Amino acid sequence: MAYSRKNTNGLQFFITYHSWKQLDNKLTVFRRVVGGVDTLTEMELKWLIKIKDKAQIFVDPYQEANEQHINTAKHKERAKKMRKTNVSRTSLRQSFATSSRSSGQEDFNLWISANIPLNKMQNPKFKLFLETFCDKIISHESMLRKNYVNLLYDNIIMELNSQVKDEYLFFIVDETTVADALLIY
C-alpha cells in the first residue's frame, strides 16, 4: 500500500498477510497480521480512513519464527524424546528447593567437588549419559552456572555457619616463598 499526496513525505508502507522475501533487507519491518483483518480489508476498499477510529491491528512478531522452530529436526527430536520417556520437566533448581539432599543436588555437588568443568556438560555423549542416568534434561552450562552454583555456595555458607555458630573463625595466611620464588600458603 503506498500513500503519497501533497504535504506528505512520500513514504510507502506495506501491510502484508505474510512476509515477502523480495522486500527483505530494504528498510522493512515485517509482522504477521493475526487480528484486525477486517480493518485491513476496509482500508483496501476506501482511499482514506481514520485508523484511530477503527479496531487496533494486532501482530505477533514471533509467530513465524515459532512456526519455523517447531518444524526443525532438533525440536521434533526433543519433543519425541519427551513423549517417549515421559520425563517431567523438573529443573535442578526445583529439586534443590524441594529437598536439601535430593539426588539432583548431590549430583551437582559431585560435579563441582570433582572439579568437572561445567562446559563438559555440553559434550554430547556425556550429556546423553547424564540425561538418561538422571532422568532429567541437563541445562546449558551458562544456566547451570547462573542458577545452581549460587545455590551450592549458599548451602555451603549455611553449613559453615551452623558448624561455627557463635564461635570466632580465623584464617591465617603465611606468604612464605621457597627458593624458586613460589608462594606457599
Q: How do residues 43-102 score in pLDDT, each as one tens digit?
A: 666 544 454 555 555 566 667 777 788 888 888 888 888 777 655 555 555 554 554 444
This prediction has a pTM of: 0.32
Number of C-alpha atoms within 13 angstroms, CB side, residue 155?
16
In the chain, at which residue ranges do the beta strands (DSSP E only) sit?
32-35, 58-60, 176-177, 183-184
Enumerate the domain spans of the chain: 1-71, 89-164
